[in-house]
Amino acid sequence: MQEFIPREFRAGGHWVDDWRTYAEASERDTGIVVLAETPGALADIEGICAVDRIRALMIGPFDLSVALGLQGDSRHPDVVAAIRRMVAAAGRRALPVILPIFAPDLAETRRQIESWQADGVRMFTVGTDKILLHSQARRFVDALRT
């Protein structure tokens, strides 16, 4: 599978490139990133990964853990096994996997990334809006208290 690299932002080529060439390239280079975070997605992961024009599989470990009745424990062995199953299915289709890492601690984030890299994951999102906002707010509060 050819690596997907966007040529430009969707509207970036208006009136710069030949319109037909631009439209053809935009259509050809457009793909789908699937978010898999339910037991249904896990059950049909092979079929999902086989869908034409999927460029990557993003796994939602927190929501998957909730959907599996594990109360947000994204490091629970059942969740880890489910993620590994999804990663393996994506690997059989040469689909890159995107995996969020939610650990607020930098060392734990690094450890989780290294662990998932051993399973073949190469793309990660780190932190969340809530974690990043809380971290920055905590820095200000701590600085103002001293």
Q: Which domains does the chain have, with CATH numbers?
A: 31-145 (3.20.20.60)
Choose the weakest-confidence range: 34-43, 73-82, 137-146.
137-146
Read off the pLDDT of each residue in 50-56 and give the average, rounded to a whole number.
92
Q: In the structure, what pLDDT confidence band is assigned to residue 11 with cuts at 50, 70 and 90? A: low
What φ, ψ does residue 126 adopt, rounded to 5°? -120, 145
Question: Residues of the chain with pLDDT > 70: what percent?
Answer: 88
For the chain, give percent helix, strand, coil, nearest 5: 55, 15, 35
Over residues 82-92, the pLDDT tens digits come to 999 999 999 99
| Rounded distance between C-alpha atoms, residue 146 and residue 144, angstroms | 6
- Check pLDDT > 80 for residue 3: no
146: how many CB neighbours lie within 10 A of its CB? 4
Give per-residue pLDDT as tens, 60-70.
Answer: 999 999 999 99
Question: Token pair of 8, please?
Answer: 């430009």
